[in-house]
Chains A and B, each alone.
Chain A
Amino acid sequence: MSSLSGVKRKALRKRAAGVLVYALAVGALLIWIGPILWMLPSAFKPTELITQAELTLWFEPTLEHFRFIFAKQQFLRYMLNSCFIALGATFVASLAGAMAAYAMRRFGSGGRGLTFLVLLVRMLPGVVLAVPYFIAFSSMKLLNTWSALGFAHIGFTVPFVVWLMLGYVDEIPEALEEAAMVDGSSRLQAFFRIILPLVRPGLAATAILTAIQSWNEFVYASVLTWSESAKTLPVAAADFVTAYSVLWGPMFAAGAIIVIPVFLFTLAVQRQIVRGLTFGSVK
């Protein structure tokens, strides 16, 4: 009898723990998703409803804020700038980072010091490098160009790619490349024909995360690109914090424009991300 109640108590405790875990998960999810849930409908709310003290859940949606940001501000241009910089930086960083990781693992390039350095660069707060970048690109007359921000983004995404790719390269047995080289492949051919196809899921996941980082990046963008020809979406969104007020409607609309493509993109490639991030975890 007592053992039965013990089993019951145990099951009850397990259940309570499960409920607690779920509650915590839901709480964490709400904290994360709350601002987004607030932002998206607000982008379609008339201005007077956004700023009023009471929360309005039912309203007639309006596109006035989107019209404002596309007609009065040059958001199409800013989107193009963001796309070009994110894609360019991702392509260069992914390829360069994968090659660097390969060299570090196979030839021990740079030794342990380089591996630590890569990690160190990741640990540095971005703002530390913002001013040196500003001075360097200013003296090269490259401020307000795609290339300035692109190179800065490559600078902080390459260590990220290297760090992730090191793990993926580790998973590939060296014997495979050696076999290819015995068959007459050069080292470069072995890298492109053997290593890259094998680490493709990991590289894809890394590239996706790199693109998202570059798309959302604000600190370097605000320091290096502030003209219409190179300004990116996050900096353009901050323009709505004006001298006297915050233009909440356009700000929410800009936020939606920034978040929705990333959201859709992530939804479309989530399988690759999961596959890439779990790549090699089960042998």
Chain B
Amino acid sequence: MTVSIVVVSHSEKIADGAVELAAQMAPDVALLAAGGTTDGRIGTSLEKVLAALDKAAGGDGVVIVTDLGSAVMTAESALEFVEDASEMVLADAPLVEGLVAAAVAAQGGGDVQAVKRAAEAVGGPARQAGTTALQAVGEGPVTGSGPDYTGDFELVNQAGMHARPAAKIAGGLSSLDAEVQVNGVDGASMTALMTLAAGKGSVLHVEAWGADAERAVNYIGGLVQAGFGEP
């Protein structure tokens, strides 16, 4: 059993498509789409969201990712109707990137808060100023003190850094108590890692702060040296 994820979108196609995409990287995670209105229009439907939450309930908790404005409001409203919403949280994250990051974190065994953090660490345009995601990203460097642990690792797999390796790094870090920077970007953000465009032979400079700093660096080192399980 893992954390389940509910996708609330104005469009049925977007919700279904996002679920299809994330399912590739998280085959064991229950991903439930709640897109569009009950009569097939663009919009969000409380009925659909409640039905998805109902299916998702009873496991290790539920993380909800949403698209635009009223999807957030519909999801929040749905939580008012649910009998026990204690293990159900909304993630403030871009829908597709947040969903994939969340799904990978859930696949890796992260709990509700870890999965939510993984989604929010994606670092798309934040909807509200001062979100925890932005603060978390800033925490390490802002203190001005050097990292607690560092490491340099050369990419050995043919394809270098791309979606799956980035998802593995970001997903694994979500369950560790550490702020990690990889070549200056947030290691918990799948999209930030992908923007490094690091090919085979590039070196990843990993800096980590926090209680699990050493584990975090070793985790990334292990993945890189094993070529992320790729040729």
A and B: bona fide binding partners: no
Q: Interface on A for B, CB 8 Å cutoff?
A: none
